[in-house]
Amino acid sequence: MSNSPRPVGFTAPHYAASQVGQNVLQHGGTAIEAMVAAAASISVVYPHMNSLGGDGFWLISEPGKAPVAIDASGTACAKADLAYYAQHSAIPSRGPKAALTMAGAVAGWQKALEVSHTWQSGIPLSELLAPAIGQAQWGIEVTQSLQDASEKTFDDLSTIPHFEQFLIKGKSLQKGKILKLPAIAKTLTTLAENGLNDFYNGEIAQALAEDLQAAGSPITLEDIKAYEAKMVTPLSVNTSVGKLYNLPAPTQGIASLLILALFDKVQHLATNEAEFVHLLVECTKQAFIKRNQYVADQSRLSIELQSLLSVESIDDMLTNISLEQALPWPHQAKPGDTIWMGACDSEGRMVSYIQSIYWEFGSGVVSPQTGIVWNNRGTSFSLQAGHQQQLAPGMKPFHTLNPAFAELKDGRRLSYGTMGGEGQPQTQAALFARYIYQQKSLPESIRLGRWLLGRTWGDESHNLKIERDLAEDIQHDLASKGHDIALVDSCNELMGHAGAVVMRADDTVSAATDPRSDGNAFAAHTFK
């Protein structure tokens, strides 16, 4: 062990999870180990945004090697077909029939730790999960974000059996109150003792199957046992500033890459902030058109998504972007909310990670034996026969989730991302463009006023929403170009919870988090 200090960094949208990740890093743990510990923690302290009953996606980078990715998203269970939902015009968004896809997050933790163990001998799982166990046992302080989600969903979810664990004395959560989650603590303790595979092939799997069946979900023990997370090859695109990476189908990673690939070609045309935002919005429209046309389960792709990132494809899309005129936008948006976290360890290994249950509190279905609330990601399926998103057993629904990573020509490596459904690619683009092209500081790139085209979590409108502090300077110019604008409050959670970790060529590390979240970011030194 060297006595020289080495930089580490971590960011998360909740301060407690960020602290957990940082502690692991400062005790010599890998970026993956830090992320698993923080992922367990944030499933406790931010239960409206994610859960052990949800999904995860990983981007993992070692210095000098191509990044690798893990798809830990759930497949539709064996009973989930058009006949099962014959009495419905659409898959219910809440309740037992919304709980139809497997939970992949924990399998993703296990797959990621397998990678970590090729780097160095691992920290015991019991140590990684101990902070989350303590948080669940002793209780978490309700944040404003958690209060808002609790109040918003109370009418829909409070009557679902066993959801009372996310209430206090039958009432919605209030900021500053302490919420204890003893069943979650017990589940995490079982995982710490028996290993993460217990979730799919042990006591927890059995309990989950019993509880989901009792609730009326189509998921069975056989579905749970059959699930596995998979290593996948990230999508990538070369730009003038470096190489960008994101996740392949079924995620909208292609959209995030297309926005920045297109913007890289036109950003020099922007002479003011209004033109800067306008061009990013127009690039977003082109990217979303391609996303909506092609992204589905891998087995249903009509083209290789990587081909959309070719020079020829990018140039073709550029012909539809005008500096003077906004393209009309009638397209339906994709909702969703989640958490994103980033890490950099003392060896320069970096992680970009995202974990979600889709809508706030997912399906609302809670397993009473485990305390786990199940995702409702399956509502992204269509019940229309022949649709590219048609529900079928073993298929994966469309995912808004997409963690981002960049290797820049000047030696910087950037892990970045956000929650926020339709807003994820847009916020990623805003953060990246401000940091790279406008050369603003990392915190400023995240803090500055943002915009959102289309719908995000909990919102049904499809116009261009702009935070008031930004709109003051650009609203008139954007309206003159034909944008349909709606103003929202500044520093609005609607715009997502962004974060980033940067490692520079000189081995210094910076990290930042979004003031729109309850997060924190750390960049410190450890001895290794």
CA atoms within 13 A on the CB side of 108: 33
Burial 277-308 (b: 16+ CB within 10 A, else e): bbbbbbbbbbbbbbbbebbbbeebeeeebbeb
Report the C-alpha gap between 517 and 411 in whole angstroms: 29
Question: Which member of 143, 338, 400, 456 is catalytic?
Answer: 338
The residues that bridge with 344 in the sheet, in sequence order, are: 9, 350
Q: In a 3-state reduction of DSSP, which class is residue 61?
A: strand
Report the C-alpha gap between 498 and 503 in whole angstroms: 17
Under 8 Å between Cβ of 190 and 183: no
As a residue count, the chain comes to 528
Whether 118 is a known active-site residue: answer no
- Residue 202 burial (CB count, 10 A): 16
End-to-end CA distance of the chain: 5
**Could you give the angle at the alpha carbon of 517 between the alpha carbons of 516 and 523, nearest 5°?**
110
Q: Where are the beta strands (DSSP E) in 454-519?
A: 464-467, 485-488, 499-503, 509-513
Beta-carbon contacts of 393 under 8 Å, excluding residues fewer than 6 positions away, are: 75, 76, 77, 78, 79, 80, 81
**Residues catalogued as catalytic:** 338
